[in-house]
Amino acid sequence: MRSLTILLAAISAVTAQQAGTQQTETHPKLTWQQCTASSCTNVNGEVVIDANWRWLHDSSGANCYDGNKWTNKCSTAADCASKCAVEGADYAGTYGATTSGNALSLKFVTQHAYGKNIGSRLYLMNSATKYQMFTLTGNELAFDVDLSQLDCGLNGALYFVQMDEDGGMAKYSTNKAGAKYGTGYCDAQCARDLKFVGGKANVEGWVPSSNDANAGVGPYGACCAEMDVWESNAHSFAVTPHPCQNNAYHVCEKSGCGGTYSDDRFAGDCDANGCDFNPYRMGATSFYGKGKTVDTSSKFTVVTQFSNNKVAQYFVQNSKKIQMPNSSVSGVSGNAVTPDFCTAQFKAFGDRDRFSEVGGWSKLNSALGGKWVLVMSLWDDHYANMLWLDSTYPPEKAGQPGAARGDCPTTSGVPADVESRLASCSGTRPTCWRCSTQDLACEWDTDPDTSRVGSIRRRKDELERENQDLHEFLRYLYARPEEEAVEIFKRLRMSGDALQVLEFVRSGDLLLQGRPAEQSASPGDSAMTNSDGDGDVRAAGLTVPASPWTTLANDGVVSELMASFFAWDEPFYLAFVDRESFLEDMRHASAETAEFCSPALVNAICALRSALLILHVSAAADGTDRAGRLFLLAAHDMAQRLVLPAVGGSEGQQRRRRVYSKALWGMYTFESIFAFMYLRPSLFARPSMLRLFLDDVPSDSREDGTQSRKLSVVLNAACDLSIIYNEAMQYNKRVNVEDLGSHHDIQKRVELFAKLRSWRESISYELHDGEVGVSAYHLRRGVILCSPNVAPELMIARAYEDQVMLSIFRPLKDDVRLPEDGYVADLLLAYCERSISGIETYEQDSPTKELSGMVLHSLYNTVITTARLLHLPKSHELFSRACRLLRDRASEYRFVGFLFQGVLAIAAGNGEQIPEMAKSSFKGLQLDETTLKDVPISFVLPFNGERKGQKVQEDGGIHLGDLISNWSWLSITD
């Protein structure tokens, strides 16, 4: 539609219409996800700008097209095709198109050295020379949009058209540029504003536009089916399918094309109008816009579902699903595009049913099952000022059914006004008269990208939540037993912050364990419940007495904490606690005769979820692992002195051997997981004892045999994984720095990776859901995939697998190329992406937010790994997501604050900046200066690049605490 005229000297010779050689064509990378019912896979794609926007020149560098006219450098279709070439693009500098991870940003007006560019149209690529092709039937498309700055007259569009995969190269011999240069566009308007159609120049009979300085109309048009998923601005949107009698790319001529560029809109073989669903047009005028149900002052998600005879949409904003509203137009029902809806709408609005004339749903269903190219564009309308989208159209039909399509004035959308307004906008916030005249810095009470309406709406929500929280706090004070109420009041007087005290109460900081109860726990209330639902909530499927093990909470709370521990931490992460034996002793409620349960262990588990190894975990989560290592060393010493029961003997002795076997292998597995935080192998040697926990579950077991068998199989898989991990870390400990990346070194790491893959393949059979009842997981191609009903132990297994991969390949430089797996950086980022995606999927789909401490390991590993890769832009989006997930846990784990200080130090040491999209996660986490002088955390970070000036530890890394202290001291002194 619009091209850019650029004049340059010194152009290489070009002999055919296609690719110029002055500017290398480098497509911006754009990741997206391809999903099944159970999982999503990242796809590394790229985007290309349409050939119509590119500089078109001859071999001497002279323009073949200037402004909105063809020059005298060529005169016929064949002449221009042989003499003129489309040039490579500077996407950001010339067209204002940039990508970051899975985000594409488009500027409408971009000033550059040779003029200005207006709008853009880009396509998603599968490779450097082919478009990504999509089949729509039976699938859904989800994407995020931010339309807060898109006002009347603009259209941010995402849609599909049935272009050729190669851009027409195979079909038209004169097309030498192809998809690599964005050729081959078509749509249901049978676009005649294209400079090339069917591989030939559209020059003969070209008429320059009277109101568009960059466009014109030629005699030939390019037609094909079009599926407008999203045509929108901040005021209105529409979803509109456009079938054709011939859905594929084909060429039309002059008035026979129909559509926007012809006198007779219905002369062609495509439905130029389509069957649209616009909520405003269908009577839901308060549904979409700034401050409305779908609030366009902030980002939201659009989900479109395609099936035979139906195209439906819904939205997600602020984690809330919003359904499309039903039509309130008389005679028209439904909230999706269907055959009945289309027929009724055309009748109600008095519109010509061109949709049916070109074949209707028969043609559309055929098209939806075919191949489509994804188009993303930003444009204004020189024919109808975009009134058909966001205002009353036609204006002379104001007040008639179907005319009102949005709340924009009929005088809005004039391209000259829109382009002038945006061209004069620098993107910076304006300064008020008082501040500018008195040379004062303006202070704003809204964020830069937030509208006043959106800011007020969010503040209203915040005040409502605060009001609810304060009422809840008052209920705690008058409803709790006097002793607890006094404790709450004392805390309030100390802190002066009622909301902070409320969080302490909710999380069990006052030993209230998070839920209000009518009565405090007592030794005799082991079966106590409250029928009205305001008291204790008994853990489903697991009930244990609080007494005599703890006096800190009652039966319901303790049962819930135990259920949480055995669901999330015990199966894999803290597997040394034998579930059956522990629960049996606990239920017998006799501390004197118990062998596998103790008050100390019960209280430690309660503290963890709201026994020496567990205390070590708690200390690490609090950011004081240096002190917590005492618990670890003590546990190691006790394990060395453990006396094993003799082989054979009574059933009780055999059971003890199984319990001891699980304890030893569980401690070995746990320590192997935790040892990676210190870049070392496990302190616990590989147990010599057989894995007796795999023996059949005793017939008198109180637990379900299938569940117990499953958990034993999971622990067995974790043991095998720990052996691979320790082999990798022992190798890392031996290898010289100078040998990293050598042929022998890479060969050894590839061998270790092969063992990891073999492990993965083995569990795909051993943990098949048909054998052990893992209903929430499917295992495909040897990769564990998580469904919304997540099995905690398998989610953690995947996180541990990712950690072992890091132990193998993270010591290498990121630009080292592996024989079969590409570059090290790409492999590391792929595994980190898998870890983060799993956590995000769980958070989105789970009604509760319980997670194992292993998730902290996964987030820690991802943040540390991506922080070392910040020099690669493709790491920024993943780094930011991991930081967001960690920041959400900062109030629970003091360690997070220390880690973020360390990340700042890593970035500063590498000369990198924290990505803009991640900066919000680092705000408000300052630690006091006294703490920073001696940070009580001894996790070890891997070296990155030069070691000069860094403190080298025996285990080959830098202590996180030392790094934070040194960096903070330098920051203060600087």
**CATH label of the domain that carries residue 225:** 2.70.100.10
Predicted pLDDT of residue 839 = 79
Given a contact cutoff of 8 angstroms between Cβ atoms, the answer to whether 753 and 808 are in contact is yes
Rounded to whole angstroms, how far apart are CA atoms 46 and 28? 5
Predicted pLDDT of residue 658 = 72
Task: Look at the block and give the residue holding tokens 């444009």.
Answer: 379
Chain centre to alpha carbon of residue 28:
19
Task: Look at the block and give the residue holding tokens 């054709």.
Answer: 244
Whether 226 is a known active-site residue: answer: yes
Rounded to whole angstroms, how far apart are CA atoms 897 and 961? 12
Question: Among residues 46, 87, 165, 231, which one is catalytic?
Answer: 231
Go through 117-128 and write b for each residue having 16 or more CB atoms within 10 A of its CB, e for each that does not.
bbbbbbbbbeee
Say if 543 falls within a structural domain.
no
Question: Does one domain contain both 179 and 245?
Answer: yes
Say if 755 falls within a structural domain.
no
Rounded to whole angstroms, how far apart are CA atoms 168 and 142? 28
The number of folded domains in the chain is 2
Predicted pLDDT of residue 626 = 46
Task: Look at the block and give the residue holding tokens 């008082």.
Answer: 434
Predicted pLDDT of residue 285 = 96
Say if 510 falls within a structural domain.
yes
Question: Does one domain contain both 416 and 463?
Answer: no
Question: Does one domain contain both 263 and 151?
Answer: yes
Which residue ranges of the chain lie beneath pLDDT 50? Answer: 1-18, 426-427, 507-540, 572-573, 607-619, 621-632, 634-636, 638, 641, 643, 696-705, 764-766, 768-790, 847-849, 930-931, 945-955, 969-974
Say if 633 falls within a structural domain.
no
Which residues lie across from 196 on neighbouring strands? 201
Task: Look at the block and give the residue holding tokens 């597995």.
Answer: 669
Task: Look at the block and give the residue holding tokens 């931490």.
Answer: 569
- Of 591, 519, 592, give the one whose Cα is nearest residue 556: 519
Rounded to whole angstroms, how far apart are CA atoms 960 and 967? 10
Rounded to whole angstroms, how far apart are CA atoms 380 and 68? 16
Question: Does one domain contain both 86 and 147?
Answer: yes
Question: Does one domain contain both 403 and 466?
Answer: no
Would you list the DSSP string of 385-423? Answer: TTHHHHSBSSGGGTTSTT-B--SS-TT---HHHHHHHHH
Of 400, 420, 440, the residue at which a domain comes to its end is 420
Question: Does one domain contain both 284 and 358?
Answer: yes
Question: Does one domain contain both 225 and 167?
Answer: yes
- Of 212, 180, 203, 169, give the one whose Cα is nearest residue 83: 203
Say if 50 falls within a structural domain.
yes
Predicted pLDDT of residue 717 = 84
Give the number of other CB atoms < 10 A from CB of residue 420: 12
- Of 900, 875, 725, give the one whose Cα is nearest residue 814: 875
Go through 202-221 and write b for each residue having 16 or more CB atoms within 10 A of its CB, e for each that does not.
bbbebeebeebbbbbbbbbb
Which residues lie across from 48 on neighbouring strands? 123
Say if 680 falls within a structural domain.
no
Say if 249 falls within a structural domain.
yes
The identity of residue 774, as a single letter, is V
194: buried, middle or exposed (CB in 10 Å: 19+, 13-18, 0-12)?
Answer: buried
Chain centre to alpha carbon of residue 155:
25
Question: Does one domain contain both 122 and 64?
Answer: yes
Question: Does one domain contain both 203 and 266?
Answer: yes
Predicted pLDDT of residue 762 = 74
Cα–Cα distances in angstroms (integers) from residue 316 to residues 139, 266, 844, 849, 882, in the given order? 18, 37, 11, 19, 21
Which residues lie across from 941 on neighbouring strands? 958
* Contacts for 46 with CB less than 8 Å, ≥ 6 apart: 27, 28, 29, 30, 124, 125, 128
Determine if residue 402 is left, alpha or beta; phi over 0 gives left, psi from -120 to 50 gives alpha, anything else beta. left
Of 535, 554, 583, the residue at which a domain comes to its end is 535
Question: Does one domain contain both 251 and 177?
Answer: yes
Of 389, 420, 451, the residue at which a domain comes to its end is 420
ω before 915 within 30° of 0 (cis)?
Answer: no
Whether 466 is a known active-site residue: answer: no
Question: Among residues 46, 165, 226, 793, which one is catalytic?
Answer: 226
Three-state secondary structure call for residue 667 = helix
Given a contact cutoff of 8 angstroms between Cβ atoms, the answer to whether 431 and 425 are in contact is no
- Of 610, 628, 611, give the one whose Cα is nearest residue 619: 628
Rounded to whole angstroms, how far apart are CA atoms 48 and 97? 10
Cα–Cα distances in angstroms (integers) from residue 463 to residues 293, 500, 867, in the given order? 19, 16, 36
Give the number of other CB atoms < 10 A from CB of residue 460: 10
Given a contact cutoff of 8 angstroms between Cβ atoms, the answer to whether 492 and 501 are in contact is yes
Per DSSP, 187 falls in state: B
Count CA atoms closer than 13 A to 287's CA, side-chain side. Answer: 23
Would you list the DSSP string of 854-884? Answer: HHHHHHHHHHHHHHTTTTSGGGHHHHHHHHH
Q: Which stretches within 268-338 are classed as H helix?
A: none
Rounded to whole angstroms, how far apart are CA atoms 278 and 281? 5
Say if 318 falls within a structural domain.
yes
* Contacts for 776 with CB less than 8 Å, ≥ 6 apart: 786, 787, 789, 790, 791, 794
Give residue 117's domain range.
29-420
288-289 and 294-295 as β-strands: parallel, antiparallel, unpaired?
parallel
> 646-698 pLDDT, tens per residue?
555 566 666 666 766 777 777 788 778 877 877 888 877 787 778 776 664 44
Rounded to whole angstroms, how far apart are CA atoms 599 and 591? 7
Question: Does one domain contain both 238 and 118?
Answer: yes
Give the number of other CB atoms < 10 A from CB of residue 565: 25
* Contacts for 144 with CB less than 8 Å, ≥ 6 apart: 103, 299, 300, 301, 302
821-829 CB contacts, 8 Å cutoff, 24+ apart: 821/753, 825/869, 825/872, 825/875, 828/865, 828/869, 829/866, 829/869, 829/874, 829/875, 829/878
Question: Does one domain contain both 363 and 507?
Answer: no
Three-state secondary structure call for residue 263 = coil
